[in-house]
């Protein structure tokens, strides 16, 4: 009797230990189950890619800046020669020289440079249309700085406090001669 009990007991013990061992691999097998969920994440990426593309209108023609000043050229093809101005943070004031390298008159192909927040561009442009000669509404508080309108062969400049374009941007420079702003604009930032 006692001998059989020992055999039984040891048999049960073996069976239990066998179960314990076999349960360990079972727990591990749940880990690979999580992988398919992670693999599903990249599937969302193709949807996000097309929307990000139009926003990447990254500047390709940075203006040359030296001694807290830059010279922007404008031509008869309704273009600036720069689409980005980076103002050094060490500058207290900054000067933009505008040079019209074309030959057309100011009342036909005039250009200026206006500095404002991107949010105010449209309103400034609309309210400045028809305001001769500079196409900027008088005492427009949204305008941080602006030059006069010039024609072919002429030059002008404007100097402003850099502190005014440090916070609250993004800021832009653009031409408010009627119909020009779409093509003639760029970013201006302090760095
Ligand atoms: Cu213009």
Same domain, 39 and 72: no
Type and span of the H or E element at 100: strand 93-100
Single out the residue of 163, 166, 124, 178 nearest to residue 146, CA to CA.
Answer: 124
Cis check for the bond before 136: say yes or no (omega within 30 of 0): no
CA of 75 to the centre of ligand 1 (A): 8
- Write out the residue range of the structural domain in which residue 36 sits: 2-55
Same domain, 97 and 18: no
pLDDT, position 59:
79
Same domain, 100 and 69: yes
CA of 14 to the centre of ligand 1 (A): 91
Dihedral class, residue 179 (left if φ above 0, else alpha if ψ from -120 to 50, else beta): left
pLDDT, position 46:
45
Same domain, 120 and 51: no
- The number of domains in the chain is 2
Same domain, 101 and 173: yes
| Mean pLDDT of each 10-residue bin along the chain, 191 residues long | 43 41 44 44 43 56 97 98 98 98 98 98 96 95 98 98 97 98 98 96
> Tokens for 18?
């066998």
Same domain, 147 and 89: yes
Same domain, 75 and 50: no
CA of 100 to the centre of ligand 1 (A): 9
Same domain, 44 and 85: no
pLDDT, position 58:
77
Same domain, 31 and 72: no
CA of 149 to the centre of ligand 1 (A): 8
């Amino acid at each position: 009797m006692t001998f059989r009990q020992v055999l039984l007991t040891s048999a049960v013990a073996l069976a239990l230990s066998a179960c314990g061992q076999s349960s360990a691999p079972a727990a591990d097998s749940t880990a690979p189950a999580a992988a398919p969920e992670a693999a599903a994440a990249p599937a969302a990426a193709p949807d996000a890619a097309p929307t990000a593309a139009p926003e990447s209108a990254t500047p390709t023609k940075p203006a040359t800046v030296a001694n807290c000043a830059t010279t922007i050229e404008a031509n008869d093809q309704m273009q600036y020669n720069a689409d980005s101005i980076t103002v050094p943070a060490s500058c207290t004031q900054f000067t933009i020289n505008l040079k019209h390298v074309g030959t057309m008159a100011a009342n036909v192909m005039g250009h200026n440079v206006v500095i404002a927040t991107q949010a105010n561009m449209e309103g400034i442009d609309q309210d400045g249309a028809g305001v001769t000669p500079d196409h900027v509404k008088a005492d427009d508080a949204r305008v941080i700085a602006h030059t006069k309108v010039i024609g072919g062969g002429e030059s002008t400049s404007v100097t402003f406090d850099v502190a005014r374009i440090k916070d609250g941007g993004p800021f832009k420079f653009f031409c408010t001669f009627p119909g020009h702003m779409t093509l003639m604009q760029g970013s201006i930032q302090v760095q």
